[in-house]
Chains A and B, each alone.
Chain A
Amino acid sequence: MEREEIKSIVESLLFVADGPQPLQRFAEILDPVDKRILHEVLSELQDELESQHRGIRLVEVAGGYQLRTAKANADWVKKFLGGRPARMSKATLETLAIIAYRQPITKAEVEAIRGVDVDGVLTTLLERSLIRAVGRKDVPGRPFLYGTTVEFLQLFNLKDLSHLPTLKEMEEISLPEIPGDTISIDQLEEN
């Protein structure tokens, strides 16, 4: 098979695919084409879409390849699709981050970090399939351990968990200042 032909077929498959497709899947369909060739073809497609500023991009996400719209066109696509995307509250996002970095983790352990009850948030995350029970911890009560899902990787455009943004070292953490009027401690004590 000609290389250009392979590329064309791969593009068609990407178009009809439902969800990210691993390299293995293309290899199965295009057997006996070498995986190395497929990988190259996919990279070429990726580069072409990118360099030609096309409206769709090929991204590596959740262990596979997927066509996605270009970020620059987000507003137009949103207008076209109508409806509001489900916004994630700060509490939900924080809880999700804790689970993502510390998985597998129990509800009690998440609560220890956030300092508040996470029952409701956990339910939301489970309903949106962003987390799932991955087992039980061998402690009294055998609580469920939670971890993130493929949907989580898709939502945040992550290739896999090792591509999570690196956590800051404890020493690097500084508290961002709150913009606007702030009273300093000295002023407070003067009053």
Chain B
Amino acid sequence: MDLLLHLIKKNEVSITDIPIATITEQYLATLEIMQTLNLDVAGEFLVMAATLIHIKSRMLLPAGADEEEEDEGVDPRDELVRRLLEYQRYKDAAAELEQREVLTRDVFVRAPAPVEEAGPREFREVSVFELLGALKRVIDRLPKDVAHEVTLEKVTVREKMTLLLDTLHSKGRVLFEALFDEVKSRLEVVVTFLAMLELVKVRAIRIFQDEMAGPIVIEAAAGMDEAADQVVLEDAEDSHHGA
């Protein structure tokens, strides 16, 4: 989109009357240069190139020749123009934002005073492999049922997310192992684990470890409480609808 806008500006042509042949040619030429320079030509560029060629070919057809397109009088470039203008709109907005008094560029605030009491201990972040190891220990701890019992359990990842957030809300932090205290089935272990990962992904929680192979701690991430609350709210709404 950016490249296309650039070409249109460079050629000083009207956005509502794009000389599609010229622009397409230049667009493709630029892609070629990018490839020569061994730059990764992302798929999106190819999609845009295809769109341009498609529009170009439609413009070559006499009006009405395309049976499937019932909108005869419509300029095939219209949709593209609309998207370009929409994009330019946000580019303008971005430029306006940048002109504001930007914190740590134009204006500054006092650095927060160091807290007197000893802060939280240094934690190290847990690697994926340590997490998987811990998960395996939890699964191994499960009672080995010899009898195969088929029950339809209803545990959803979102339910577990809500549960974990509630726990963190009241306790602040929780041990990884403790998450699975009440959990009885393998499926539930996996669902709980997935719920935890989801929350890490949205940065609602953080997973830490005191030392190598030490206990793994899960805590609410600073500043993401609100996000977490939102997820809970959403879930509440969802389950309400489902009921």
Binding site for B on A (CB under 8 A): 15-16, 18-19, 57, 59, 66-71, 74, 77, 81, 85-86, 88, 90, 93-94, 96-98, 100-101, 113-117, 126, 129, 132-136, 144, 149, 151, 154-158, 164-165, 167-168, 170, 173, 175-178, 182-185, 188-189
Contacts and interface: CB of A to CB of B under 8 A. Distances in A.
A70 B4 CA distance: 40
Contact of A170 (B2, B89, B97, B113): B89
B109 A67 contact: yes
Contact of A85 (B10, B19, B90, B104): B104
B93 A156 contact: no
Nearest to A127: B203
Given A68-B109, A132-B202, A165-B100, 5 more contacts: A71-B101, A115-B44, A133-B204, A155-B103, A185-B22
A66 B5 CA distance: 40
A184 B9 CA distance: 10
Given A156-B97, A168-B89, A175 B15 contact: yes
B92 interface: yes
Contacts of A57: 107
A97 B94 contact: yes
B65 interface: no
Interface of chain B, main secondary structure: helix
A77 B107 CA distance: 9
Nearest to B112: A18
Nearest to A171: B85
Given A149-B223, A175-B5, A175-B9, A74 B110 contact: no
A188 B8 contact: no
Interface string B1-35: 11011101111110100010010000000000000
Nearest to A69: B108
Interface in B224-239: 224, 226-227, 230-231, 233-234
A156 B104 CA distance: 10
B169 interface: no
A190 B116 CA distance: 75
Given A97-B94, A175-B88, A182 B42 contact: no
A133 B19 CA distance: 41
Nearest to B18: A185
Contact of B110 (A67, A113, A144, A173): A67
A157 B102 CA distance: 7
B129 to A, nearest CB: 22
Contact of B94 (A66, A93, A158, A178): A93
B91 interface: yes
B171 interface: no
A126 B203 contact: yes
Interface in B41-88: 42, 44, 48, 83, 85-88
Contacts of B103: 68, 154-157
B203 A132 contact: yes
Contact of A144 (B102, B113, B202): B202
Nearest to B3: A115
B90 A98 contact: yes
B97 A183 contact: no
B227 A81 contact: no
